[in-house]
């Protein structure tokens, strides 16, 4: 009987929840009209009942008809008849041998006649249940029929006994099924705004959606988490609801109300608390199993609303001060915002726990890097640490192209994977060890034909580099789903399958990233968000300067939480930590003690910078402790008496000395010649400044050639290491794509400095460019006052990088009174002699012409402090500065007894999956692998991953029996023996299911598929080498695929 051909009810009427088989998804009804092909499948006999021109099956008094349905032992079956009028038929239900069953009959509010019965356990497969409908006393008419069957699930594992019998049919009695039962917290959530229908039921075991949808999705076996009742989780407006009290809205210094995604941003006030409590209570009462608390944040530009001013006066016991008026008000503003948000979130989560303790309390938080880059304040570690918070919902997405444009090697470059990686790192490090589960929301593009957009691929691959990232959500709004092509819907099923298996096969709270180098971390505090606005806004170049040069060489650097440094377990996984207080500060002095103790136990700490203006804020705890800067407290805890710091700045660029040489506008890539001979005659040095012709124009510089006396002295592409060595000043330029040139727009500029030129020879610059450009030049006097000069006894690092010019944007900090040891000449700088260790004297690495030593090393008990008094943003300014950072990290890491390497790629094995991201070099994956997100699930031996690529692959390891390589969809049960493979999978109606099976060299003797009722499903199988590729049509109630082997 071709059940699969039956049409489905558009409204998906479901059995009431709480049936005998609570963990089994309630199947969709089969609906048919009189006279349809589907009706013919069930129609058995008629005595006079005919179909009218209106499409009604009509029976006059004395006439009858019979429908037949499969007789599955123990099943609950239901029939609902939509009648022509109030007249109802007389009903009889018969089993095999015409034994009667007594059905339960009822009339629904809309007049529908409903009958339900339970099949006896003594029935045999192949028998039929006959339902007779007769017009004994009144004629009747049937407009439509809806049929539903729920098969018995005696062990309540979500798989019916009938499906199990189909999977094991013909197999020895000892053959066992492996049944996958969903956990209390699903591995993967789908974000939806609509109820389930057969075509819109992708098999996800978790749903993030409106609480009003809870009962419908729970009926399909899903766990539902919801935000506010009536608020769609697929909308960015979630949690940004209008307040009943406008005084709660955050406002800036102009008095403007601040908005996020078109909704007012609310301050944490009692009115807001009462309002949001009522909405969350609505979600609880609607049946949501998890409640998502609104994202707590403050705009750093806020703090002008009356409720904030009042809180300031009450807590600080002094009048409110404009945050823009000085460092102390700015610092106090950020601190107060963080404290208010923490108190508010704690209270709201406790209130939800009081409303219904069994409901999961899920806190949505912004990613700390996103918050800092968008000038938001949200103390994420403190928020997730609240006892009543059980789960954390956040993101590690690349964001907009502007968000993912980070400074590296002297230019802004689009690095979406790197940003996603760092965002995933900071979240996993914050949550690690807290017992809170982290769910990462993957990005959605509602207009895309496939879910695996560039942004999602970057976010997914980056997040999977962290074994602690176990839970994910995929956006699948109705509009997005309908926009997906057939291949896109199959890809969505592959994503669900991949993420589910990864979660289940990786231990929660798993080991740190096993890539070599995961023991290297950069410390980040919530206070980085406090310094992002006037009067002295910090930027994040320093953070990226300390991370990207490592990450881009395949070193899996982590972003560790400075706010947790007082907990020894937080720092225990690390051997080397990088730290700067130039864009952040430690919250409390005890964090310094925790860091110092970690160093003394054998860790290597590299401290950068020291010139931040916020060192002087009177509100800082270090100022109250009579310290000039927070690092002074750290050095004291390490027993290193550094004294008072001095900061050296290079003179700002003197624009008055430049003369216009040429300007123009070329529409195609053109090489121009610029004669700078006259500027070299004084000092033999030339400064050349390139800008757009006007603030409204832009141009791209591709190549530079220096020609002296008619011969090429140097030629290099924009963005190359050689170009970086010549850059003296730079601001605002971008390299959109490697090899395509440096882009100038608006106020962007670059100044090149070329030294050691002959004063009596013609000197030309050949510039290959396109757009509206302006070239100026000036005579330049060589200046090496802002140059790091390698110390003779500094070991290998100064030998390989003897001189490094530090740009004007990057101040140098040193301690004139610090007792520097006499120059030593260790044979190996990475392994100082035991005598040096005993002396415990600092080793200078780099000095200045002025005599200061801005880079030095000193042992601290079993550990090492490496002081680098260079603003950390410097390490994003050129390839040479990046090379210095890597050399310093290698030096420190080896002193901590760890091995340092730069593999050029990130490769992580999670269970049987391999996650790969290559940078400048290709990577080869040994053995056979499946590309699990390709439409063909292609198999390749010794797969070559090209440079600057990423991918996720399943390993096909040697086996003694055929194995399921990968299935697109939620596999609920399977069995694998030398002669038989079977699996049961669910997917949206009409979508294409695909699978790849590893044959172990055996011959395929047969392949077939059925639905959950045993009816045939079209299946194609193609033997490809030692694997078989399968394609079939999915069914939301499940498809059973069986293969035989010889």
The CATH number of the domain holding residue 774 is 2.60.120
Query: Of all helices (H) and strands (E), which one includes residue 697?
Result: none
Q: Are 963 and 933 in contact (CB under 8 A)?
A: no
> What confidence score (pLDDT) does residue 512 get?
37
> What confidence score (pLDDT) does residue 513 get?
41
Q: What are phi and psi of 596, to 5 degrees?
A: -60, -40
* C-alpha of 140 from chain center: 59
CATH value at residue 109: 2.60.120.380
**In whole angstroms, what is the distance from residue 1038 CA to residue 983 CA?**
10
Q: Are residues 18 and 82 in the same domain?
A: yes
Query: Of all helices (H) and strands (E), which one includes residue 864?
Result: strand 863-868
> Cα dist. 886→135, 331, 451, 464, 891 in Å?
89, 33, 37, 25, 9
Q: Does residue 1020 sit within a domain?
A: no
Q: Are residues 910 and 883 in the same domain?
A: no
Q: By CB neighbour count within 10 A (0-12 exposed, 13-18 middle, 19+ buried), where does 835 fall?
A: exposed
> Cα dist. 512→394, 517, 728, 911, 948 in Å?
20, 11, 40, 15, 24
**In whole angstroms, what is the distance from residue 101 CA to residue 429 CA?**
61
Q: Does residue 262 sit within a domain?
A: yes
The domain in which residue 909 lies consists of 905-956
**In whole angstroms, what is the distance from residue 202 CA to residue 480 CA?**
13
End-to-end CA distance of the chain: 30
**In whole angstroms, what is the distance from residue 569 CA to residue 591 CA?**
13
> What confidence score (pLDDT) does residue 263 get?
86
Q: Does residue 989 sit within a domain?
A: no
The percent helix, strand, coil of the chain (3-state, each to 5) is 25, 35, 45
> What confidence score (pLDDT) does residue 506 get?
55
Can you name the residues that pair with 1029 across neighbouring β-strands?
Answer: 996, 1022
Closest of 118, 114, 98 to residue 106, by C-alpha: 114
Q: Are residues 468 and 569 in the same domain?
A: no
Cα-Cα-Cα-Cα dihedral sign, residues 670, 676, 677, 680 = negative
Q: Is the pTM of this model over 0.85?
A: yes
CATH value at residue 270: 3.20.20.80
Using alpha carbons only, how large is the chain's radius of gyration in Å?
35
Q: Does residue 483 sit within a domain?
A: yes
Query: Of all helices (H) and strands (E), which one includes residue 996?
Result: strand 992-998
Q: Are residues 644 and 659 in the same domain?
A: no
> What confidence score (pLDDT) does residue 830 get?
45
Q: Are 826 and 832 in contact (CB under 8 A)?
A: yes
Q: Are 292 and 392 in contact (CB under 8 A)?
A: no
Q: Are residues 664 and 749 in the same domain?
A: yes
Closest of 435, 273, 236 to residue 352, by C-alpha: 273
Q: Are residues 476 and 525 in the same domain?
A: no
* C-alpha of 282 from chain center: 30
Q: Are residues 30 and 142 in the same domain?
A: yes
CATH value at residue 618: 3.40.50.880
Residues of the chain with pLDDT under 50: 1-22, 229-244, 507-515, 821-838
Residues 6+ apart with CB under 8 A from 482: none
One-character DSSP codes across 6-26? -EE-TT---PPSS-S-TTSPP
Q: Are residues 475 and 531 in the same domain?
A: no
Q: Per the structure, how many domains does the chain have?
A: 5
Residues 6+ apart with CB under 8 A from 232: 193, 209, 210, 238, 477
Tokens 């006079």 locate to 48
Q: What are phi and psi of 549, to 5 degrees?
A: -60, -30
> Cα dist. 248→244, 273, 276, 277 in Å?
9, 10, 12, 15
Tokens 């640490």 locate to 385
| Residue at a domain's end among 444, 470, 504 | 504
**Angle at alpha carbon of residue 466, lines to 463 and 467, rounded to 5°:** 120
Longest Cα–Cα distance in the chain? 120
Q: Are residues 331 and 428 in the same domain?
A: yes
One-character DSSP codes across 133-168? EE-SSS-EEEEEEEEEEE---TT-SSS-HHHHHHHT
Give the single-character DSSP code of 1020. E
Strands 520-524 and 558-561: parallel
Tokens 């901590």 locate to 896
Q: Does residue 180 sit within a domain?
A: no
Q: Are residues 73 and 22 in the same domain?
A: yes
407-434 pLDDT tens trace: 999 999 999 999 999 999 999 999 999 9
Cα-Cα-Cα-Cα dihedral sign, residues 781, 787, 790, 796 = negative
Q: Are residues 364 and 469 in the same domain?
A: yes
Give the HSE-up count for residue 148: Cα atoms under 13 Å, Cβ half-sphere: 21
Q: Does residue 38 sit within a domain?
A: yes
Q: Does residue 1027 sit within a domain?
A: no
804-820 pLDDT tens trace: 999 888 999 999 988 65
Tokens 């980056």 locate to 462
Can you name the residues that pair with 1031 across neighbouring β-strands?
Answer: 994, 1020
> What confidence score (pLDDT) does residue 807 get?
86
> Cα dist. 928→211, 438, 931 in Å?
45, 32, 10
Query: Of all helices (H) and strands (E), which one includes residue 64?
Result: strand 64-70
Q: Are residues 834 and 730 in the same domain?
A: no
Q: What are phi and psi of 213, to 5 degrees?
A: -90, 0
**In whole angstroms, what is the distance from residue 495 CA to residue 443 CA?**
13
Q: Does residue 1013 sit within a domain?
A: no
Strands 437-441 and 178-179: unpaired
| Residue at a domain's end among 727, 755, 779 | 779
Which tokens belong to 697? 């124009």
């Amino acid at each position: 009987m071709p059940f699969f051909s039956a049409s489905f009810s558009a409204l998906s009427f479901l059995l009431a929840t709480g049936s005998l088989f609570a963990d089994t998804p309630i199947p969709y009804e089969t609906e048919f009209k009189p006279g349809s092909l589907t009706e013919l499948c069930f129609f058995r006999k008629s005595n006079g009942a005919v179909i009218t021109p209106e499409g009604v099956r009509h029976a006059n008094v004395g006439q009858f008809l019979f429908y037949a349905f499969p007789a599955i032992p123990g099943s609950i079956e239901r029939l609902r008849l939509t009648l022509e009028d109030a007249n109802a038929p007389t009903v009889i239900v018969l089993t095999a041998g015409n034994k009667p069953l007594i059905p339960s009959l009822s009339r629904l509010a809309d007049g529908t006649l409903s009958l339900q019965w339970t099949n006896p356990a003594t029935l045999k497969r192949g028998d039929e249940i006959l339902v007779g409908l007769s017009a004994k006393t009144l004629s009747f008419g049937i407009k439509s029929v809806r049929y539903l069957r729920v098969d018995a699930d005696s062990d309540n594992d979500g798989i019916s006994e009938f499906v199990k019998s189909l999977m094991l049919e013909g197999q020895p009695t000892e053959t066992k099924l492996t049944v996958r039962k969903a956990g209390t917290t699903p591995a993967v959530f789908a974000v939806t705004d609509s109820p389930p229908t057969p075509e819109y039921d992708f098999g996800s075991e978790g749903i993030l959606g409106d609480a009003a949808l809870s009962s419908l999705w729970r009926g399909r076996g899903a766990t539902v988490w919801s935000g506010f009742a009536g608020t769609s989780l697929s909308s960015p407006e979630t949690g940004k609801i209008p307040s009943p009290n406008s005084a709660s809205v955050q406002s800036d210094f102009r008095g403007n109300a601040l908005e996020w995604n078109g909704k007012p941003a609310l301050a944490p006030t009692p009115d807001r608390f009462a309002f949001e409590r009522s909405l969350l209570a609505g979600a609880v009462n609607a049946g949501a199993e998890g409640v998502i608390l609104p994202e707590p944040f403050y705009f750093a530009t806020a703090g002008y609303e009356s409720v904030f001013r009042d809180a300031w006066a009450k807590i600080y016991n002094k009048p409110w001060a404009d945050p823009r008026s000085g460092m102390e008000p700015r610092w106090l503003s950020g601190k107060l915002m963080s404290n208010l948000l923490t108190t508010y979130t704690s209270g709201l989560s406790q209130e939800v726990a009081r409303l219904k303790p069994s409901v999961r309390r899920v806190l949505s938080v912004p990613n700390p890097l996103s918050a800092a880059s968008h000038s938001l304040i949200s103390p994420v570690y403190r928020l997730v640490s609240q006892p009543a918070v059980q789960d954390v919902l956040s993101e590690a997405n690349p964001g907009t192209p502007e968000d993912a444009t980070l400074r590296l090697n002297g230019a802004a470059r689009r690095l979406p994977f790197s940003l996603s990686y760092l965002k995933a790192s900071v979240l996993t490090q914050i949550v690690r060890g807290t017992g809170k589960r982290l769910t990462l929301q993957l990005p959605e593009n509602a207009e895309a034909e496939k879910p695996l957009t560039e942004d999602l691929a970057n976010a997914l691959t980056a997040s999977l580099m962290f074994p602690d990232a176990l839970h994910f959500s995929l956006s699948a709004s109705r509009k997005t789903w309908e926009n997906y092509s057939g291949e896109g819907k199959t890809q969505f099923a592959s994503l669900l399958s991949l993420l589910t298996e990864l979660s289940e096969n990786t231990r929660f709270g798993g080991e740190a990233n096993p890539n070599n180098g995961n023991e290297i971390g950069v410390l980040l505090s919530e206070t980085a968000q406090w310094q992002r606005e006037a009067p002295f806004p910090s930027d994040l170049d320093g953070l990226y300067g300390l991370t990207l040069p490592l990450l881009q060489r395949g070193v899996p650097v982590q972003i560790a939480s400075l706010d947790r440094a007082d907990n020894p377990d937080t720092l225990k996984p690390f051997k080397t930590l990088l730290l700067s207080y130039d864009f952040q500060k430690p919250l409390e002095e005890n964090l310094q003690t925790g860091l110092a103790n970690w160093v003394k136990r054998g860790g290597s700490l590299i401290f950068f910078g020291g010139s931040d203006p916020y060192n002087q804020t009177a509100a800082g705890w270090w100022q109250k402790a009579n310290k000039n800067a927070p690092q002074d407290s750290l050095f004291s805890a390490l027993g290193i008496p550094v004294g008072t710091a001095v900061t050296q700045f290079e003179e700002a660029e003197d624009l008055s000395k430049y003369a216009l040489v040429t300007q123009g506008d070329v529409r195609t890539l053109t090489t121009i010649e610029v004669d700078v001979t006259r500027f070299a005659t004084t000092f033999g040095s030339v400064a050349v400044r390139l800008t757009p012709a006007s603030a409204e124009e832009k141009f791209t510089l591709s190549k530079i050639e220096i020609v002296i006396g008619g011969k090429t002295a140097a030629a290099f592409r924009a963005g190359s290491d050689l170009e970086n060595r010549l850059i003296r000043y730079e601001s605002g330029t971008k390299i959109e794509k490697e090899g395509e040139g440096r882009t100038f727009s608006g106020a962007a500029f670059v100044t090149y400095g070329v030294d050691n030129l002959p004063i009596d020879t013609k000197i030309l610059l050949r510039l290959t460019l396109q757009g509206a450009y302006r070239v100026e030049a000036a005579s330049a006097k060589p200046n090496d006052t802002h140059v790091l000069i390698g110390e003779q006894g500094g070991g290998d690092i100064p030998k390989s990088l003897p001189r490094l010019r530090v740009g004007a944007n990057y101040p140098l900090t040193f301690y004139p009174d610090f007792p520097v040891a006499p120059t030593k000449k260790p044979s190996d700088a990475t392994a100082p002699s035991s005598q040096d260790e005993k002396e415990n004297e600092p080793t200078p690495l780099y000095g200045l012409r002025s005599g200061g030593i801005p880079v030095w090393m000193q042992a601290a008990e079993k550990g090492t402090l490496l002081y680098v008094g260079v603003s950390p943003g410097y390490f994003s300014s050129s390839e040479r500065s990046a090379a210095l950072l890597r050399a310093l990290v290698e030096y420190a890491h080896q002193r901590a007894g760890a091995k340092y390497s730069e593999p050029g790629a990130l490769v992580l094995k999670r269970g049987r999956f391999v996650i790969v991201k290559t940078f400048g070099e290709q990577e080869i994956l040994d053995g056979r692998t499946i590309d699990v997100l390709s439409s063909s699930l292609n198999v390749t031996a010794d797969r070559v991953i090209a440079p600057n690529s990423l991918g996720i692959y399943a390993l096909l390891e040697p086996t003694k029996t055929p194995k399921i390589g990968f299935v697109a969809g939620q596999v609920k049960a399977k069995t694998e023996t030398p002669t038989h493979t079977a699996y049961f999978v669910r997917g949206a109606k009409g979508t294409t299911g695909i699978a790849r099976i590893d044959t172990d060299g055996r011959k395929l003797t047969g392949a077939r598929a059925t639905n959950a009722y045993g009816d045939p499903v079209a299946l194609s199988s193609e033997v490809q080498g030692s694997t078989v590729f399968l394609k079939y049509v999915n069914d939301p109630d499940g498809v059973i695929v069986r293969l035989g082997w010889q």
